[in-house]
Amino acid sequence: MKRQLLKTEIVAIAAILFGIGLLIDIITHNFEPVALVFSIVMIVVGQHYRSKGKKKRGTVLLSIGALIFIVHVFSSAAFQLLLASAIMYIGYELLQSRRRPIMLQIETKEAADSGSAVLRSEPFLKNMFVGNYRVMDCVYELQDINIRYGVGDVHIDLTTAMIAEGETVIVIHGLVGNIRLYVPYDIELSLNHSMLLGRVSACGHEEKGWNRNLIFQTEQYREASRRVKIISSLLVGDTEVRYV
């Protein structure tokens, strides 16, 4: 099994890369400490004026200082090296996850009783930045789902799930990727999806476009004894909810 990087290791690697980039800046004379210090001073002074009620003067100084700081940092080799490394790491993780997709093993656990009126339990799907969610070919008890992720695909098969009576809510928010949900025919469905760019296919309808918010709902949804409500969003990607 591939070892996952610890947060401290990620921070350490980022610090090393930033240090290498800073050294390159110094050698190539791209590092301008005077401009950096000047921008920070303007930001501090601008914030001071704003706190004293001189918002117009403070906003001008704050904006100019922030602009100089952003331009100086974004044009540095340190930032560019860090950004390039992050992009290559994301690409590597996506390739690895597609070659060896992780099958999530669903385990039903009783909520831990801490002696109070509040019971706490662990969800079987958790947030991640890069990777694929794949819940397929396993029998499990469906609970409310609320996940956020960065880059990757989501594949969830609800046909093998034990769905309780009432309304079950599935919330999925991602940046880039595709969402695929497979729903049994006897379950009524509601989908509320927003996207910046992509395609949506659900309940026999398909739409695509830019900066859209779409709502689909089956005819008997409100009266159904068992129903699934899906709330999802993607910046870029396709979403498909299919009856099987």
- For the stretch 41-55, pLDDT in tens is 888 888 888 888 888
Burial class (CB in 10 A: 0-12, 13-18, 19+), 227: buried
202 neighbors 192 (Cβ within 8 angstroms): no
User: In b/e form, how buried is each residue of 165-176, taking b as 16+ CB within 10 angstroms?
Assistant: eeebebebebbb
Q: What is the DSSP letter of 4?
A: P
Asked if 168 and 66 sit in the same domain, the reply is no
Residue 136, pLDDT score: 85
Q: Is residue 164 part of a domain?
A: yes
Which residues constitute the domain of residue 234? 121-243
Asked if 81 and 132 sit in the same domain, the reply is no
Q: Is residue 114 part of a domain?
A: no
Looking up tokens 């989501």 gives 154
Residues 6+ apart with CB under 8 A from 231: 169, 170, 171, 172, 192, 193
Phi, psi of 145 (to 5 degrees): -120, 135
Query: With a cut of 50, which residues of the chain have pLDDT below it?
Result: 1-4, 6, 108, 111
Residue 1, pLDDT score: 42
Instruction: Tell me which amino acid residue 232 is.
Output: S
Asked if 52 and 149 sit in the same domain, the reply is no
46 neighbors 62 (Cβ within 8 angstroms): yes
Asked if 129 and 93 sit in the same domain, the reply is no
Give the residue among 155, 151, 148, 134 at the shortest CA–CA distance from 95.
151
Q: Is residue 65 part of a domain?
A: yes
Please, where are the H alpha helices in the chain? 7-27, 33-51, 55-74, 77-99
- Cα–Cα distance between 183 and 163 in angstroms, integer? 11
Residue 94, pLDDT score: 66
Q: How many domains does the chain have?
A: 2
Give the residue among 63, 28, 57 at the shortest CA–CA distance from 43.
63
- Cα–Cα distance between 56 and 44 in angstroms, integer? 15
Instruction: Tell me which amino acid residue 17 is.
Output: L
Residue 93, pLDDT score: 67
From 99, 131, 166, give the residue that closes a domain: 99
Burial class (CB in 10 A: 0-12, 13-18, 19+), 144: exposed
Asked if 25 and 132 sit in the same domain, the reply is no
Question: In 10 A of CB 76, how many CB atoms?
Answer: 20
Asked if 216 and 128 sit in the same domain, the reply is yes
Question: In 10 A of CB 19, how many CB atoms?
Answer: 12
Q: Is residue 31 part of a domain?
A: yes
- Cα–Cα distance between 9 and 146 in angstroms, integer? 28
Side-chain-side CA neighbours of residue 196 (13 Å): 8
